[in-house]
């Protein structure tokens, strides 16, 4: 009997450890849609999901969307916003090409009055394939977030890379598809968040054709 009890105790420990490794999650629903979200916040979590930690600048959220009306639901990345209680940052999802594309993002931080206070060349990681040069966050331009009440704008610099970053394929394969659907749909959202934020400080907002929902993340 003792070996059996010991075996059961060991199995219980394994189950507890497995539960601890589950990402924090949240869920919200209304009459039109149900959305479940899992949070990957931190270098280790992002690396385990994508094979790259992106130098800790990207918070990843995996969302599962279940339409409930039978009418096609239009899904777009911009339906989602990630907000932090820590400093009021608000970020919309980046497209894969904005993270690992051939363009480069130059980030400028402006005050509440809209004037440019300083220019930061932006987060840098890795090197452009075949060049060994640092590469900044790729993007299409436009506002990308709100950091502690300051406006943030971006412009594009061309990269001379001749080969596509292998990470781009992974990001494209896993990103939430932008489509119309009556069936369950899932994928990843990539958010740029400056600094470290605790899981409990982050809140995901959905503001799309199916209404408005918000989710907090808990284990």
Indicate yes or no: pTM above 0.75: no
- The residue ranges of every structural domain in the chain are 24-93+176-219, 95-164
Fold of 24-93+176-219: Immunoglobulin-like (2.60.40)
Q: What is the pLDDT of residue 203?
A: 98
Q: Which of 63, 152, 136 is nearest to 103 (CA)?
A: 136
| Cβ neighbours of 131 (radius 10 Å) | 13
Question: Is residue 144 helix, strand or coil?
Answer: coil
Per-residue pLDDT of the chain (219 residues; tens, 9 = 90+): 555 555 545 545 444 444 457 999 999 999 999 999 999 999 999 999 999 998 888 999 999 999 999 999 999 999 999 999 999 999 999 999 999 876 535 443 444 333 222 233 334 333 333 333 333 444 333 344 434 444 444 444 444 455 667 899 999 999 999 999 999 999 999 999 999 999 999 999 999 999 999 999 998
C-alpha–C-alpha distance, residues 210 and 189, integer Å: 18
pLDDT in tens, 130-156: 333 333 444 333 344 434 444 444 444
């Amino acid at each position: 009997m003792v070996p059996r009890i010991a075996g059961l105790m060991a199995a219980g420990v394994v189950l507890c450890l497995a539960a601890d490794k589950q990402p924090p999650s949240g869920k919200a629903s209304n009459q039109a849609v149900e959305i479940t979200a899992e949070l990957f916040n931190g270098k280790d979590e992002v690396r385990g999901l994508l094979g790259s930690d992106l130098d800790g600048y990207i918070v990843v959220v995996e969302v599962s969307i279940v339409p409930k009306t039978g009418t096609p639901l239009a899904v777009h990345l911009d339906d989602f916003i990630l907000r932090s209680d820590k400093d009021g940052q608000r970020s919309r999802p980046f497209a894969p090409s904005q993270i690992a594309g051939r363009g480069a993002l130059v980030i400028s931080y402006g005050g509440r009055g809209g004037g440019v206070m300083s220019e930061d060349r932006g987060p840098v990681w890795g090197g452009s394939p075949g060049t060994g040069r640092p590469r900044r966050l790729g993007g299409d331009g436009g506002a990308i977030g709100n950091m502690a009440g300051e406006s943030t704008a971006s412009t594009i610099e061309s990269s001379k890379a001749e080969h596509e970053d292998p990470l781009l394929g992974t990001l494209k394969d896993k990103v939430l598809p932008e489509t119309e659907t009556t069936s369950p749909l899932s994928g990843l959202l990539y958010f740029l968040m400056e600094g470290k934020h605790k899981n409990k400080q982050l809140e995901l907002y959905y503001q799309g054709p199916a209404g408005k929902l918000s989710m907090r993340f808990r284990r």
